[in-house]
Amino acid sequence: MLTLVNDGHFSEETLRECLAQAKKIDIDFVRYLVDYKSFSPKTLAQTFAKAFNLPLFDLFSFRFEELPHDALDAELVASHHILPLIKDSKRFVIAISNPEYIETLEKLLYQNDIEAKKFRTMEGVVSIQNDSYIKPTWIIVEHNKLQYLVQQNEQNQKIEDEDLTEEEQQIRQEKQLKGDELKFDFEPFRNKDNPNELPIIKYVNALLFDAIRLKASDLHFEPYEKSYRVRYRIDGILREIANPPVDEANRISSRLKVMSQMDISEKRMPQDGRIKLKVAEDKAIDFRVNSLPTLFGEKIVLRILDPSSAMLGIDVLGYEPAQKKLFLDALHQPQGMVLITGPTGSGKTVSLYTGLNILNTESANISTAEDPVEINLEGINQVNVNAKVGLNFATALRSFLRQDPDIIMVGEIRDIETAEIAIKAAQTGHMVLSTLHTNSAPETLTRLRNMGVPSFNIATSVNLVIAQRLVRKLCSRCKRPINIPNKSLLELGFTNDDLTQKSVTIFEAVGCSECRDGYKGRLGVYEVMKITPEIAQLIMEDANSLQIAKKAQELGFNNLRRSGLNKVMQGLTTLQEVNRVTNE
């Protein structure tokens, strides 16, 4: 590893620290540099190839479906982060990103004495003498590409043929793709004249399954002038997953557009679509798809709409006991309005659907207006608003009121017309659930007033306001307690009462092979404000959000910051995460 110092990439001290940290969290040193220190995998591969006098190859120049997957045990491939590329009677070529392990691996392979099998060959690799044991030829590849294909190798075996049958029929019905004039058969790119082309259908499907496995919320397919990247949003953070060849950008975009039933020939305007992917005999997951023309091609973003997220139940969302009681009490009122607020991606939809599932009984008539409907809920009448034909939230609400409703959900209150109809419904014997985009619960009330809703109507119709954010949960396997001076904790918002509790321990994220960065999953941080008579009086007096917040705190209301600090004291998240989502 001294070559990294000699080439000026690290100082000796920094290198020692990185080696120690990688050993501490029990992961490969190269993976630590790429995943934790954001070191360029390309630069790292070039450095190793030069230092160890080994050939450097682009891993994506190999056709994945033709790799000798059976040449090495799958567990060996995954645990040692290697990938067999060629295996025949004369040569055995293996890809590796950390050549420090080559000597150890050769001893292991010799002991295993893997038998040769017949696989394809690749020109340009030096032949090995044919012995009973074939000594491997090692080639250096970029870590991120190797990591992706190792994962794909595992995932590929889990994808059953029946999962692709519906897609096969759909693609075979396509006579040709307009624009690039490409044909998409079920077994694409098996043209020997084009060995560099990726198996697009399997490649895209593997990415979708991989995103589901990693519990990603979004996938980003992004074309640039000289590169193409795929990123997943996992636990709220975007992570680069793959860098397919830039020459494949149009084919990947076209494949995604075919799957989501978009117009393939339209590349100048944004489009919306939807993909339904079967992941098990009795389970399918929807993807909401949007394409956007950019300078170097179409960027396509997929939002994963897992119906199971709507069935989580209130107990796993992160509400404190008092907050949970306020939410449930408000939902079971005979009439009124419950508002949920927060930025995009803060979990408002899951909270709304959780409330709807609680209310979804045989005796209730529930109608929702959404833009768009994200998750299909059995027993609930869901309407997709469509501004092109004049079906907006206000129009849908008017129709709901003529449909004998008990409970109404409006995806978002965006204008005075929608607000007035929703409030009228809440005042005339209906329970209304909706969302707004504001920073806090008290600001929601002043936002309605600024939209033009009379203060009296706000005070008499709104029962409860919930503001929320999502923080990443600490990995229970590797989280580590830390000592922070009491003075610093007080400055961060903790109270003297908090610090006198003997059971309070604050943890930090570390990172391990199970979680990678110290976090695993997310949970909500909430401020739940009931509209009490005192707060209703302030609303009618046109009090501002600061005055309302002060009164609410006197009545026991916890703001987002306080709720987040409670999660820190419970060992569920870190101070860094709370600081990231709160600004107080």
CB 383 within 8 A of CB 314: no
pLDDT tens column, 6-31: 666 667 777 788 788 777 777 777 87
* 458: number of Cβ within 10 Å: 22
> What's the 3-state SS for 298-338?
EEEEEEEECHHHHHCCHHHCCCCHHHHHHHHHHHCCCCEEE
Strand partners, 337: 432, 462
CA distance 349 to 197: 40
DSSP code for 56: B
- Predicted model pTM: 0.64
DSSP code for 223: E
Tell me which residue of 318, 319, 317 sits closest to 464, measured CA to CA. Answer: 319
Under 8 Å CB-to-CB from 382, ≥6 apart: which residues? 367, 368, 370, 373, 376
Tokens found for residue 78: 């995954």
Tell me which residue of 74, 77, 65 sits closest to 202, measured CA to CA. Answer: 65
CB 60 within 8 A of CB 244: yes
DSSP code for 33: I
CA distance 6 to 13: 13
Q: What pLDDT sits at residue 159?
A: 46
* Residue-range domains of the chain with CATH: 2-143 (no CATH), 158-304 (3.30.450.90), 309-469+523-560 (3.40.50.300)
CB 43 within 8 A of CB 62: no
DSSP code for 264: T
- What is the maximum span of the chain, computed from C-alpha positions, in angstroms? 91
pLDDT per residue, tens digit, the chain (584 aa), is 556 666 666 677 777 887 887 777 777 778 778 776 767 888 888 888 888 888 888 877 777 767 887 777 777 777 777 888 888 777 888 889 888 888 888 877 776 654 333 333 333 333 333 345 577 888 888 888 887 777 766 655 444 333 444 444 444 333 233 322 222 222 333 344 444 445 788 888 888 988 888 889 999 999 999 999 999 998 888 988 888 888 888 989 999 999 999 998 889 999 999 998 887 767 788 899 999 999 999 999 999 987 777 667 888 898 999 999 999 999 999 999 999 999 988 889 899 999 999 999 999 999 999 988 888 888 999 999 988 888 999 999 999 999 999 999 999 999 999 999 999 999 999 999 999 999 999 999 999 999 999 999 999 999 999 999 999 999 988 899 988 888 888 888 888 888 887 667 889 998 877 777 889 889 999 999 999 999 999 999 999 999 999 999 999 999 999 999 999 999 999 999 999 998 75
